[in-house]
Structure 1
Amino acid sequence: MLELWKKRQAKHQKQMFKYLRYVLNDHFVLALLFLLGGLGLSYSNYLQTLTSQKSVSFSPVISALILWIVLKCGSLATLLRPADLVFLGPKQAEIGSYLSRAFTHSLFFSWLSVSVFYLALVPYLLHAVLLKTSQILLLWLLVLVLKYLQLERELLALYHAKLAQRWFRLLFDDLFCFLILLASFYFNALYLLLLSTMIGIFLERAQKASAISGSFLWEQAIKREQRRMLRWYRFFDLFTDVPFIQVAAKRRRYLDRFLPKASNSPTRSFTYLYWRALVRNGNYSGLYLRLSLLGMVILYFVETPWLAYVLGMLFIYLLGFQLLPLYFYYDELVFMHLYPLEKNQKLKAFSQVLFTSLALCAVVFSLVVFSSLGLFSGSISLGLLLGECLLLAGPYTKVRLIKRA
């Protein structure tokens, strides 16, 4: 079973690195650097506004809420497959060693992710909550132990179905962990750390006893692993085509009145098709909404005009770059090669659809900048973003699509 885990772990890592090459491309890395730089600058400016004499009254609640969200990073990765129900079922007595390796692997990456986010929160804990260095270290250990408890609960739930029910997850993973984190800012975190450690020891013993005498829930474990991998595939699908995802089209009848009608014009034919693909396909419509909402939220809290311009242009670029695969959406349909339609008509129609969708997002971003920074900044933002939309939908799109054709 240990050899099986090693083989699956190696294959899983190879697959993840394969998709990460598409995610961490030059354009996205550059955009990510600008985004992190802008957020870091805003974070630094906010910390400078805090007084060093007394803590902010609501800072413990905000800190506990942020740490509770941070604890959502990472889950138990078993790498089980549907066929395991048949081929590994007779070896249930040996599944314990396999799950032990899976737990260690998941715990390492979960602790790494949690520690990175906690490190980013440390300046806020120092300036807003006014914690001492020893208190910050104790709180960090407490967060790690709570993450350990969550993973132990997930592992134990593979033997006891009640522990996987929604009400228990809300009670233990959410309510209990949040109350422990909130209490650590008002009471001695050392006692809470000892309490969490004792609960962890109890869960570990219960898990070992279940591995010896309990019945492993193969179907639930496999379905849970499939849901976990599906979340990763949906993320990768934002950057490249993932064959493991099949998104069903939705009519969205309430948007029909805003879409162009069918026409005999060649250019209008492609326009008709692209608008419906953008609206009805869950990948593209979901991507458009998520990036737009994220950009609106970030721009609303930006207080520096030039930073708002840069971030707005960054989100417009990301949105345009991610919508480029829409151009090839109908290429696999045989009818597209039978219709008397030329490729230049197809490119022209796609450019029109891309420009209109990006321009709509640019107007919304400019309204957000106007509401937070004033009319002058909003007008400059609108001019810059519309100019970028013209460049993205025109020369940039033509060059990129020629390279990918």
Structure 2
Amino acid sequence: MNNLYRQRLSSHLKEMFKYLRLVFNDHFVFALLIFIGGLGYAYSNGLKELQPNLWWAKPVIVVVLLLVLQLGRFATLFQDADVVFLLPKEAEVRQYLRGARTYSEGLAVVYELFGMFVLLPFVQVTDAMSVFDLALIAVAQLLMKDSLFSLAIIRRFQVKAAWLKESFWFKWAVPLVILLVSVYGLPVIGTVLALVLAVSLRVADRRYDAVPFDWWQAITLENNRMMGVYRFFNLFTNVPMLKGVAKRRRYLDWLLNIVKITPRNTYLYLYSHGIVRSGEFSGLYTRLTILGMILLYFVRGTWLPVALAVLFLYLIGFQLIPFYWQFDDIVFTHLYPIAEKQRVNSFRRLMFSLTGITACLFLVMVVIANQDWQVGLIALVVEGVEVVLMVQYYLPLRLKKKK
């Protein structure tokens, strides 16, 4: 069973690296570096304006640590067929779970340490904790994460104790109490409580060695975890595992009626109806637009909001380009007496409308967040230039390159 998990982990990592290469292409990496640099600069400037002993500093530290604690889920890599083919090996499933825990917990430690590293400057400026206290809080954080993995293993067995399967208390309530104790001046006691929690759940886990393994529960949890991973990648690239479902969306008929039914608009009619009713591309467009608006609402400055708006406009435009070939598998589209140039122009009109709407929404959020007409004017000019360059020059080059 140990070899089986290693083989699956190797295949899983290859798949993840394949998607990461697609996501972190040269353009995106360049834009991401600009965004991270701007965000770090804004974070640094924000820290300079803070004063020690702020009343709201400790609650913020507790909330951030509690949210960081939820990062990193238990990756069992179970597959649907395991309920049949691994059933004879159920007695050895503990060996398999041991390998899964080692990988998952190692990855989670990286998340926890990185989150605390980012939070450290804020803690030092607003609370001035000693190095010893910070180290104890870090240890308590890692111990609580260990207890969550013990709880995850318990949930995959047919345990009758309902309180052990109730995730709210162990994922949110108990860690909240421990963090409150640790941050509000008693980090030693907080660490001891975290240690007691971790040891108790490990002991509870061992008590259920003879309990039957809940294959369906384990497979369902793993499928849900992987769907979350695939949805993240789907924000940036097409994922075959996620198949969108077409929806009628009658409430958008007024928008589709703008396109006149004429031979000239054949592909524009097809693309506009397709993008509205496609679960995959419409969801991708909506999620990125809403995410960009939310981030722009919280970002202040002259150039950082503009850079963020440019980044998300590029991401949206780049991810919508594959929609051009969405209907190529339908044989009837090849019978259209429509020139390729007319098809490209129809798609450009669609892209111009979608990116233009997003640019307007981003502009509104920039103006609301900054309350400065000069920043709004800069965003208007830069976004307008980007939309024109993307639709008039970048898009035709991408389509020509794919032929």
Q: TM-score range by the shorter chain?
A: over 0.9
Q: Answer whether contact 2:259 2:265 (CA < 8 A) is retained.
A: yes
1:314 to 296, 311, 314: 311
Tell me the distance in 2 between the aligned counterparts of 1:42 and 1:165. 44
Q: Deviations over 1:269-324 (max 9, x none)?
A: 21222222222223222222222222223323333212222222222112111111
2:171 to 170, 173, 176: 173
TM-score scaled by structure 1? 0.94
What's the counterpart of residue 131 of structure 2? 133
Tell me the distance in 2 between the aligned counterparts of 1:162 and 1:390. 61
Shift of 1:112: 0.8
Q: Answer whether contact 1:233 1:244 (CA < 8 A) is retained.
A: yes
> Which stretch has the larger CA shift, 363-372 or 29-38?
363-372
> Which stretch has the larger CA shift, 367-376 or 324-333?
367-376
Q: Answer whether contact 1:157 1:163 (CA < 8 A) is retained.
A: no
2:377 to 354, 376, 379: 379
1:346 partner amino acid: R
Q: Answer whether contact 2:236 2:315 (CA < 8 A) is retained.
A: no
Identity of aligned residues (%): 37
**Structure 1 pair 163/338, CA: closer, same or farther in 2 (3 Å)?**
farther
> Which stretch has the larger CA shift, 304-313 or 26-35?
304-313
Tell me the distance in 2 between the aligned counterparts of 1:66 and 1:157. 26
Count of matched residue positions in the alignment of Structure 1 and Structure 2: 402
> Which stretch has the larger CA shift, 146-155 or 166-175?
166-175
Tell me the distance in 2 between the aligned counterparts of 1:64 and 1:236. 30
Shift of 1:236: 2.0
What's the counterpart of residue 184 of structure 2? 186
User: Does 2:198 align with 1:200?
Assistant: yes
Residue pairs, 1:106-117, within 5 angstroms: 106-117=104-115
Residue pairs, 1:81-96, within 5 angstroms: 81-96=79-94
Tell me the distance in 2 between the aligned counterparts of 1:324 and 1:316. 13
**Structure 1 pair 3/234, CA: closer, same or farther in 2 (3 Å)?**
same
What's the counterpart of residue 367 of structure 1? 364
Gaps of 5+ in 1: none
Tell me the distance in 1 between the aligned counterparts of 2:297 and 2:161. 41
2:61 partner amino acid: S
User: Does 2:103 align with 1:105?
Assistant: yes
TM-score scaled by structure 2? 0.95
User: Does 2:345 align with 1:348?
Assistant: yes
> Which stretch has the larger CA shift, 190-199 or 103-112?
190-199
1:32 partner amino acid: L
Q: Deviations over 1:46-88 (max 9, x none)?
A: 000012xx32111111111111111121111111111111111
What's the counterpart of residue 212 of structure 2? 215
> Which stretch has the larger CA shift, 344-353 or 244-253?
244-253
Shift of 1:175: 2.0
Tell me the distance in 1 between the aligned counterparts of 2:238 and 2:303. 35
What's the counterpart of residue 287 of structure 2? 290
**Structure 1 pair 163/252, CA: closer, same or farther in 2 (3 Å)?**
farther
Gaps of 5+ in 2: none
> Which stretch has the larger CA shift, 14-23 or 231-240?
231-240
Shift of 1:40: 0.8
Q: Answer whether contact 2:65 2:116 (CA < 8 A) is retained.
A: yes
Q: CA RMSD in A?
A: 1.9
User: Does 2:348 align with 1:357?
Assistant: no
Shift of 1:264: 4.3
> Which stretch has the larger CA shift, 362-371 or 25-34?
362-371
Tell me the distance in 2 between the aligned counterparts of 1:218 and 1:106. 19
What's the counterpart of residue 276 of structure 2? 279
What's the counterpart of residue 329 of structure 2? 332
Tell me the distance in 2 between the aligned counterparts of 1:289 and 1:343. 28
Tell me the distance in 2 between the aligned counterparts of 1:240 and 1:164. 40
**Structure 1 pair 191/128, CA: closer, same or farther in 2 (3 Å)?**
same
What's the counterpart of residue 4 of structure 2? 4
Shift of 1:12: 1.2
1:312 partner amino acid: A
Q: Deviations over 1:76-118 (max 9, x none)?
A: 1111111111111112111111111111111000111121121
Shift of 1:144: 0.9
